[in-house]
Structure formats: structure tokens, C-alpha cells
Amino acid sequence: MAEQLQERPTVSAPRHTPVSPSPSAPPQGNSNVDIETPPSKSEEDQPPNGGYGWVCVACCFWINGSTWGINSTYAVFLAYYLSHDYFPNTSALAYAFIGGLSISMAMLVAPLATKCTATFGTKVTLHVGVFFETLSLIGASFATQKYQLLLAQGVCFGWGMGFLFVGSVGIIPQWFTTRKSVANAVAAAGSGCGGLIWSLSTQAMIDNLGLPWAFRILGVLSFTINLICSNIIRDRNAQVGARNRSFDWSLLKRPEFLLVQAWSWLSMFGYVTVLFSLPSYARQIGLTAQQGSIIGAIFNLGQMLGRPFIGLASDRFGRINLAALLSAMCGVFCLVFWIPAEVVGSQMGLLTFFSVVGGALAGTFWTTIAPVAAEVVGIQDLGSALSWTWLIMVPPVTCAEAIALEIRRVGVVDFVYINAQVFCAVSYIAGGLVMWVLRGWKIGEMEEIERIKHKEERRRAQRGAMLQQESEKGHAHSHDGERDSTLTREVSALSARKQGWDLKDLLRRMMKVQKV
């Protein structure tokens, strides 16, 4: 999840009303004008672009590893549940819902976590998350009925993950300017690293110590790691003027923001399907439980290795460009490498290759959602935009794996998962196409901002010449000029967003080669 940002062109203000650039200004050539102009900041309020920010990156890395990383081990648990009658009278569909429920609960509590951050501060929000996640894992170790497992591993773990994720996800962009994408990508790689470590260790713990002790050990380790990181990490909410609003209803009236939500839906249908299905798919085609857990771990290794490179590439080639391209590429890889894995001579070899490359591509959404949302709504409204995103994502993350298991072919030996694999691939490809449309809008907005900028510069030059000739009259009209400039900025922001949806030029802009 994250961003780089350099200087972005904005509508210029008069010389007597300087406007500091947003702390998350996009790369040169990209632009996003906020309706409300942020207040001027003193030099010391600017992001240090590193320093203690790297400590915060390390904390977010391990928080992600001990939340999303542990959550990804549900693929190991799911494979175990499907092959053992540990919880009597529990269907595969019920098990599938538990895995999706943990993610959906994390998304559902996001607005509450955002409100908690605004009211009580970041540390309180993170500590609440530590409490719920620890309680869930220890509680799951004593579960004997499926409803107990659903409440512990599904609902309670999701609450803990949600508070930890929301409390930490917005911190890194506050510490960096030009290195935002790299810093966020490194932190996001923590989920892959955690998934790699926990997937292998969880399978070993289940085999040697049993399911209850696997839960308890995970609970103690996650408590220790998350508590240390929660107390070391620091935010800069006061310096950046973060609004931390749970909901801004005006965002739902903006077509470009709705496209981001469509991309999130499609990405989650694909991501949850491949994340939770790989180990059980491996066992279905004849591999062992140990090989299945290794495939799941390698998939997380791919995420860990791929996310920093996605961050670096988005710095160089543009965030929306990369989000569109890599989402579509992930769908293509599912068709080309995942489906044939069942019939090749070396099943483990091809599935391992797909897990590495597909894992690197599958997490594109998590690496780019924050910078993409910042491009669309601006840094000050990023918290609200992400809260909406997490909430709107609840249905797909809840139902994705359940859909995948339900559309499996029943009563056949070969290609049992073919429908789920196609479902995953089509979701990713469609998500890439949605982002390509958003890219066309963004280029249109940028072109309009550039036009307004040049127009405003000419207006300022004319006004400066007039004030030079009539200094006293110019002083009398200075406040009118300030009000006019504020009004111009507000009108320009709305005009630029609308101009981006000029359908006559949208297709041309979609085909234009440009960093976005």
C-alpha cells in the first residue's frame, strides 16, 4: 500500500498568499487539485523523507507480517480442515466463509478504527488491534464447535487485523515525499514475508504439536511482535493536517472514485480465490499436505519479493499505469500457468513458478491502493477514501473463496478447480481494464490543470503589472485578489475533474503514452 510523491502542478496563488505543496504531491507531470487548499506549513512540518520514517517502515513491515501474514496461513488451515473431520458436520462452504470473514471483518471495522484514531490517537487503535488478534488466536485454540471457530478465527481475528491495519497504513506516507512508493511497498512486503514464515511454521506446528498448540504459539508470537511495533511507531497526523474522517459522502458522487471501488472488488475476487485455493488445489491434484503448504508459502514469498519492485516501478512508470498493467497480467498468468499445472509432467515445478510470479502480481492492489487513491482524491481525504474502500470491499472478500469452492466441478477427477481458476483470471483482467479507463480520466484532469495553470499565470502577470502602476490601489484590492484566487482554485479543481470525463477524448487519452 503506498506512494512516492514529488512536486505536482497546482493552480498558482497570488504572491501575497503562498500555498505550500501538499505533503503527498504526485510525481512531476501528475496532478490532483484538492477543492480545499491545505494550510501553509512551516519548513519543519515538511516530511523528513526518511529518518525515523524508516523505523516506522520496519514497524509496519512486521505489523503486516503478523496480521495479513498470519491471515494468509488460513490456506494451510483450510487444507487441513478439508482433509480432516476436526469440526464435525462442517461443510467446505462454512470453512471457506471463515477465511473470507476475517478479511471482511477487518474491512468492516475500518471506519470505526479511523474514528478511534481521530479521537484517541494511533497507539490506542493499535493496542485495541493487538488485544483482539491475540484473543482470537488463543480463543481458536479452545474451539470445539464450528461457531466458536467462526467467532474466533473469523470475526475476532478480523477485528484485530482491521484495527492494526487501519492504525498503521496511513503513517508511512506522512514521513516521505519522493520515496513514498518504495517505503510503502517495503512495508507491504511484510505480509508476504509473514505469510512465508507462518505458512511453513504453522504446518510444522500442526504436524508435530497439533492444531490447538499451533494457534497458541501464533497468538503469543503475534502479541509480542505487534505490541513492540505499536509502541515504537509514530505518526505525523498533526503536521500533515490529516482529517481522519470515517466517511465523506461526497466521494461517492465522483465517478473516478467509483472506478477505484470497482477495481478493488475485482481484485479481491481474484486475490482471495488464489490465496486460499492454492494449497487445497495442490492436494487435489495429488501433491502432499507438506507440498501444499510449501506452495502457499512460496506464493507469499512472491508477494514479499514483488511488492518492493512494484513500488519502484510505480515511481518510474506511474501508479495507475502499473495498477492497470499488473492487474491484467496477473489474470493472464492464471490462465497460462495455473490451469495447465494439473497436466504437465512436473506439477510441483510449474505450480512453484506460478506461485512466485503470480504471488508477486496478485498483491498489486495492496501495494498501490493508497497511492492510487491519493491520486484520485488527494492526500487530505485519503483516510476517508480508504475507509470507504475497506467497507465496500466486504462483500467480495467474504464471498470470494466460498464462490470458488462452490463452482468447483463435482464428480470428476480432472480439472476440479477449472471454474475457480477462470473466475480468478477474469476478475483480474477486468480489474485491469477498469483501471485503464481511470487512467484516461486522470490524463484528462492533468491536461485541464495544465491549461488552468498557464491561464492563471498570465492573469497573475497582468495583475502584477497593474499593481506596479497603481501601488496604492493595488494594496486596496489585495484582499479581493486573495478571495478571487481562492475561488479560482476551488472552481479549477471541480473543472479539472469534470474535464477528465470528456468522453470525446477519453479513448484518445487511454491510448496516450504518459506517466500517470
Contacts of 287 by beta carbon, 8 Å cutoff, 6+ apart: 295, 347, 348, 351
pLDDT, position 505: 79
Q: Does 252 or 18 have the greater pLDDT score?
A: 252
* pLDDT, tens only, 19-39: 333 333 333 334 443 434 444
d(CA 74, CA 72): 5
DSSP state letter for 150: I
d(CA 117, CA 77): 32
d(CA 5, CA 468): 37
Calculate what percentage of the chain has a pLDDT beyond 90: 37
**116: how many CB neighbours lie within 10 A of its CB?**
22
Whether pLDDT at 159 is above 70:
yes
* pLDDT, tens only, 361-402: 998 998 888 889 988 988 778 878 888 888 899 899 989 988
Q: Which of 117-131, 234-248, 285-299, 500-514 has the lowest mean pLDDT?
A: 234-248
Whether pLDDT at 462 is above 50:
yes
In the structure, what pLDDT confidence band is assigned to residue 433 with cuts at 50, 70 and 90? very high
The grid coordinates of residue 143 equal 474451539
Q: What is the mean pLDDT of residues 390-418?
A: 89
Q: C-alpha angle 139/90/143, rounded to 5°?
A: 15
Q: What is the mean pLDDT of residues 400-417?
A: 88
Contacts of 492 by beta carbon, 8 Å cutoff, 6+ apart: 11, 33, 449, 452, 456
pLDDT, position 473: 57
Q: Does 254 or 85 have the greater pLDDT score?
A: 254
> What does CATH list as the number for 45-442?
1.20.1250.20
Burial 352-378 (b: 16+ CB within 10 A, else e): bbbbbbbbbbbbbbbbbbbbbbbbbbb
Single out the residue of 392, 361, 346 nearest to residue 275, CA to CA. 361
- How far is residue 200 CA from its own chain's centroid? 25
Q: For residue 389, give the amino acid letter.
A: T
Distances (CA, A) of 43 to 20, 23, 239, 336, 446: 10, 12, 11, 52, 28
* pLDDT, tens only, 477-487: 544 444 445 44
Would you list the domain boundaries of the chain?
Answer: 45-442
d(CA 219, CA 512): 50
Residue 167 half-sphere exposure, CB side, CA atoms within 13 Å? 32
pLDDT, position 493: 65
In the structure, what pLDDT confidence band is assigned to residue 314 with cuts at 50, 70 and 90? confident
Whether pLDDT at 414 is above 50:
yes
Calculate what percentage of the chain has a pLDDT beyond 70: 84
pLDDT, position 516: 84
d(CA 87, CA 147): 10
Q: For residue 158, give the amino acid letter.
A: G
d(CA 57, CA 172): 6
In the structure, what pLDDT confidence band is assigned to residue 14 with cuts at 50, 70 and 90? very low
Which of 103-112, 167-176, 349-358 is modeled with the greatest confidence?
349-358
Whether pLDDT at 186 is above 70:
yes
d(CA 448, CA 442): 10
pLDDT, position 62: 95
Q: Are 335 and 363 in contact (CB under 8 A)?
A: no
d(CA 79, CA 95): 10
pTM score, two decimals?
A: 0.76
Whether pLDDT at 11 is above 50:
no
Q: Are 497 and 444 in contact (CB under 8 A)?
A: no
Whether pLDDT at 214 is above 80:
yes
pLDDT, position 425: 97
Burial class (CB in 10 A: 0-12, 13-18, 19+), 384: buried
The grid coordinates of residue 275 equal 490465496
Q: Does 503 or 486 have the greater pLDDT score?
A: 503
Tell me the torsion sign for CA atoms 203, 205, 209, 215: negative
Distances (CA, A) of 139 to 92, 133, 149, 208, 224: 22, 10, 8, 20, 17
In the structure, what pLDDT confidence band is assigned to residue 6 with cuts at 50, 70 and 90? very low
DSSP state letter for 152: I
d(CA 501, CA 439): 11
Burial class (CB in 10 A: 0-12, 13-18, 19+), 79: buried
pLDDT, position 65: 94
Residue 369, φ and ψ in degrees, nearest 5: -60, -45
Single out the residue of 177, 206, 180 nearest to residue 75, CA to CA. 206
